[in-house]
């Protein structure tokens, strides 16, 4: 029996509860990952080492009962190590395709900026087309499929910055901050009482939603409407980024459609039948912060992209 939209929303709220059994103080990131799954988009998780980026993705996938594979990106990683490659089978005297870890529901690309651009670009087709091509044959990836990539924002030695073409494929960039004192005390309390981040089953994280339910939720999100005024508001915000004197590269049309998709997912998750300017404003920073490039003089002055985007939100007229 197919679950109703209200039942699906309730189960997705239960996902937050399950993830919180393993991860403390990252509620915004959990919500962002759920929005990305509903909007069929990829997520870039940025934070210093030790703020539970990997644990967050593992906990989410377990609570959703989704297949997850983890790839540690290193300088010597080859494209075929991610997508798969043709392997010669001496028994049949022919080549057969051996699937790589990208054939999963959630691909955890750990420290994606530690591998050269050649290997980073191996993900482009998978992220955009949801398929892998080898030897002239295109192979579909499972549904759902998202890439959850992590990167360290402070250590640049031995790293390769993601090209703009690949950054633009990520729907959201979620920043995981160092937790507040009370949250960190709770983390220590859990470890002191026997919490093992490598054993999520022992931590009590249980599946509450399956792939079929998630596909049903994605279908329900597609029914969320958007008025002409709100669509015009989205375009006005994007044009404002392109005209800002501090910005070298503004938001592309892909960024505008990405914000629409994220806003629709957030609107459905909060029980709305159509998106409002509030939904747009809520999802604007995580959807656009990685799509904007500042001018060198603005960077020298210490201006942040989040500050520029927040200023634009305040300046652009909001439809009534």
Quick one: pLDDT at residue 162? 83
Q: What is the pTM for the complete model shown?
A: 0.91
**CATH number for the domain whose boundaries are 5-218:** 3.40.50.300
Confidence class for position 157, pLDDT limits 50, 70, 90: low
The 10s digit of each residue's pLDDT in 262-294 is 999 999 999 999 999 999 999 999 999 999 999
Instruction: Answer whether residue 216 shows pLDDT above 80.
Output: yes
| pLDDT classification of 158: cutoffs 50, 70, 90 | low
**Predicted pLDDT at 277:** 97
Look at residue 135 and tell me whether its pLDDT is greater than 80.
no
CA 300 to chain centre: 29
For 69-91, what is the mean pLDDT?
89
* pLDDT tens column, 178-208: 989 999 999 999 999 999 998 999 999 999 9
Give the residue, 2 or 88, on which the prediction is more confident: 88
- Where are the chain's structural domains? 5-218, 223-315
Residue 122 CB-density burial (10 A; 0-12 exposed, 13-18 middle, 19+ buried): buried
What integer best gives the mean pLDDT of the chain? 91
- The pLDDT, as a whole number, for residue 134 is 80
- pLDDT tens digits for 249-265? 999 999 999 999 999 99
DSSP bridge partners of 146: 106
pLDDT 10s digits, 29-62: 999 999 999 999 999 999 888 888 999 999 999 9
pLDDT at 166: 83
CATH 1.10.8.80, domain 223-315, yes or no? yes
């Amino acid at each position: 029996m197919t679950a109703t939209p209200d039942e699906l929303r309730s189960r997705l709220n239960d996902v937050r509860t399950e993830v919180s059994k393993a991860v403390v103080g990252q509620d915004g990131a959990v919500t962002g990952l759920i929005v990305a799954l509903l909007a069929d988009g990829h997520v870039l998780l940025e934070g210093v080492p030790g703020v539970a980026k990997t644990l967050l993705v593992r906990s989410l996938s377990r609570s959703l009962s989704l297949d997850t594979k983890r790839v540690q990106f290193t300088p010597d990683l080859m494209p075929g190590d991610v997508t798969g490659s043709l392997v010669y089978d001496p028994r049949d005297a022919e080549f057969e395709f051996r699937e790589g870890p990208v054939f999963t529901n959630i691909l955890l690309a750990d420290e994606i900026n530690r591998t050269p651009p050649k290997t980073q670009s191996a993900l482009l087709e998978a992220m955009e087309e949801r398929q892998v091509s080898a030897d002239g044959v295109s192979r579909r990836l499972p549904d759902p499929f998202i890439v959850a990539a992590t990167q360290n924002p402070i250590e640049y030695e031995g790293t390769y910055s993601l090209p703009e073409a690949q950054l633009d494929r990520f729907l959201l960039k979620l920043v995981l901050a160092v937790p507040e004192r009370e949250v960190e005390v709770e983390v220590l309390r859990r470890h002191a009482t026997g919490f093992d981040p490598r054993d999520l089953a022992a931590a009590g994280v249980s599946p509450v939603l399956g792939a079929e339910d998630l596909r049903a939720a994605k279908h329900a999100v597609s029914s969320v409407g958007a008025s002409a005024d709100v669509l015009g508001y989205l375009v006005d915000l994007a044009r404002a980024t392109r005209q800002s004197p501090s910005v070298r590269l503004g938001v592309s049309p892909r960024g505008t459609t990405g914000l629409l998709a994220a806003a629709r997912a957030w609107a459905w998750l909060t029980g709305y039948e159509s998106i409002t300017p509030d939904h747009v404003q809520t999802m604007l920073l995580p959807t656009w912060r990685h799509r904007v490039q500042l001018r060198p003089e603005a960077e020298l002055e210490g201006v942040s992209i989040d500050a520029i985007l927040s200023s634009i939100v305040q300046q652009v007229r909001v439809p009534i």
